Amino acid sequence: MFHQVTGSSNDIVPQTEYEKKYDTQQFVGRGNFSIVHLAIQKETGKKFAVKIIDKTKFMFQSKVLAALDREVEILAKVQPHVNIVGFEEAFDEGDKLRIVMELLPGGDLLKLLKTRGPLDEETVRGFFLQMVHVLKYLKTKGITHRDLKPDNFLVADGDVLKLADFGIAKGTSAGNALNTMCGTPAYLAPEVILGKPYDSRVDVYSIGVILFFLLSCGDTPYQNAQSEPELYQKVKNGDVDWSAPSWATVSPSAKDLIRQLMALDPAQRIKLEDIEAHAWFNRVYAHLVLQGEKQDIFELKSVITKIGRSGSEYRNGYLD
């Protein structure tokens, strides 16, 4: 999984294991703790994305450094899956961590919405089914992502979603709860904000917020909050803003599903396993898409074509 790099006393700085295998090219993007470049595999010419994290920024933060290792371990553990960004290998160079991953130049759901404009319900349904698909898979692995948002769902050819950024994801055993407040404020479940122990049901809440976002063409449920404290109060109260004109044309069943996904009490929140039975879905297609991690990519893309369209963050999760 990791390639460890040791130093040298020679005057000429030797190539690292990463540099022997890859050429780093243009800048692609930036995260909270990393930059992303295009990387070309020398032997094959294949293109990848390489996420580069400067570990010197966290030299005296042992929990952060442990979390960086955990990100790689989790990313490797969940391979392969049609709806998760592909992982190639990682290189720990002491001062830097390089994670080589699948290159997805098409951007994320946020960019897609800005490019295409309003999405019809059939298109959104196709995307949402894939979110459910990948969460069911993560649940079998005992993993809670904790930072689900449109920015972390990359879009591949055929409108296939790829979940990325496992930087604050956490594996848990049965019966063990999580406690750290982490994630992106607008997508946090109320139990996280309240400081209560929580589990993978926070991810169900987050995809409810994403569904709201997609169906409202870019609004969040608490769009009118003027500050982070006001946002948190609205989340705790369930003060969802349905006033946008776009909601006049959204089906009642879609709005009902959002309400069930975003239930304040996690015990009352719709179960992941029950989502496919909701009235908003065509159950035949839902069964095909949601049947498991061995779903064939071509079958999945075919189903998506039928049901949809063809063809300031808080990151203390490192402290868990």
Please give the Cα distance from 289 to 297 (Å, whole number). 10
Please give the Cα distance from 42 to 19 (Å, whole number). 9
Of residues 92, 108, 147, 159, which has the active-site annotation? 147
Please give the Cα distance from 98 to 5 (Å, whole number). 11
Spatial CA neighbour of 255 closest among 212, 226, 223, 296? 212
* Helix/strand/coil for 13: coil
Is 165 among the annotated ligand-binding positions? yes
Spatial CA neighbour of 251 closest among 215, 219, 282, 287? 215
Please give the Cα distance from 77 to 91 (Å, whole number). 17
Do 122 and 35 meet the contact criterion of CB atoms below 8 Å apart? no
- Which tokens belong to 194? 């309240």
147 annotated active-site: yes
Residues 6+ apart with CB under 8 A from 52: 34, 35, 36, 37, 96, 97, 98
The single residue listed with the structure tokens 């920015």 is 151
* Helix/strand/coil for 20: helix
Rg (CA), the chain: 20
Cα-to-chain-centroid distance, residue 280 = 23
Is 51 among the annotated ligand-binding positions? yes
Cα-to-chain-centroid distance, residue 119 = 20
Binding residues: 51, 165
Residues making up the annotated binding site for ATP are: 51, 165
Query: Catalytic residue positions?
Result: 147
